[in-house]
Amino acid sequence: MKQRILICFCVLLAGASIMAQNLEAGFFLGASNYQGDLQPTHFLFGESKVAYGGFVKYPVLEYLSLRASFTKGTISGEDLNSSVNSGRRRRNFNFRSDILDFGLQAEFHPLTLIYQEKKIISPYLMGGINGFTFNPEAFYIDRYYDLAPLGTEGQYLEGSGVSPYSRFQVAIPAGIGVEIKISDYNSIALEFGIRKTFTDYLDDVSGSYPDLAQLAELDPLAASLSFRKLDDNGEPAAFPATGAKRGNPDAKDLYYFFGVNFAFNITNILNLGGGPSNYSVW
């Protein structure tokens, strides 16, 4: 299915390249956030981080454009953000991860389809297919450690039945936005986009605790970062039984980008008399 979706997008992009339309290029500036085992049900503004990227956009129809984009952001979460009486708070996990997100999206402008004319202010829907890379890290004692190579859920223990996860994944982007046309040469758009992933390991937390005694023999650091729970007195708790719940494997992780797209109509700018150096896009 993923291969078929990619083929469809490639065919659409090839068709767009032979149409005499306007090519746009621009950049994105905004923020990133996530939802997962360390932030399961609500949005924490304090965990938002700066995100930025670039894109090129090509109109296939008056109301439909294809966009290739690349965005870099950071996501993070910490159990200490939860309520005082929460079991997640006593679990005591934290993480951060850079996200490199790239792919193809379609922009659909419904008002343009209805009125057969693009308005100065045009709301739109966005969807497509993306790939992304991530690398969860946790702060422990005095520094950050990469978590994936440690196998904190027993990925490298013989007979554990848990496989290492790939740090390259596919995501389905979906979002809404409002484009504001400034002139024939440039526009801005406010956009909020969700990336639905097929992994539960953006934060390195998914299923159950491994045999922590066995993991400690293999790698003491892996065991320390696998289990960081505190007891009621704030002291390190005793190891749980093998298979005790560590996260929720039934809910895959999400990440978000929200911010502003600044777009420039390259075709119109280059067609200006005297070249683009004689024109201010603002």
pLDDT tens profile 139-183? 999 999 999 999 999 999 998 899 999 999 999 999 999 999 999
Backbone φ and ψ for 233, nearest 5 degrees, come out as -95, 5
CA atoms of 127 and 267, how far apart (whole Å): 25
Per-residue pLDDT at 96 exceeds 70: yes
Each domain of the chain, given as residue ranges in start order, spans: 24-278
Lowest mean pLDDT among 48-62, 114-128, 133-147: 114-128
* Average pLDDT for 70-94: 88
Domain at 24-278: CATH code: 2.40.160.20
Residue with tokens 């965005």: 71
Q: Does residue 279 surpass a pLDDT of 70? A: no
Query: Side-chain half-sphere of 270: how many Cα atoms within 13 Å?
Result: 7
When comparing pLDDT for 246 and 234, which is higher? 246
Flag the least confident range among 43-47, 83-87, 195-199, 217-221: 83-87
Helix (H, G, I), strand (E, B) or coil at 162: coil
Q: What is the pLDDT of residue 282?
A: 45
Instruction: Report the alpha-carbon distance of residue 185 to residue 156 in Å, rounded.
Output: 55
State the pLDDT at residue 117: 73
Question: What pTM was computed for the model?
Answer: 0.85
Tokens of 217: 């023999």
Note every long-range contact of 157-161, with CB atoms under 8 Å and residues 24 or more positions apart, other chains counting: 157/210, 157/211, 157/214, 157/215, 157/218, 160/210, 160/211
Q: Say if residue 250's pLDDT is above 50.
A: yes
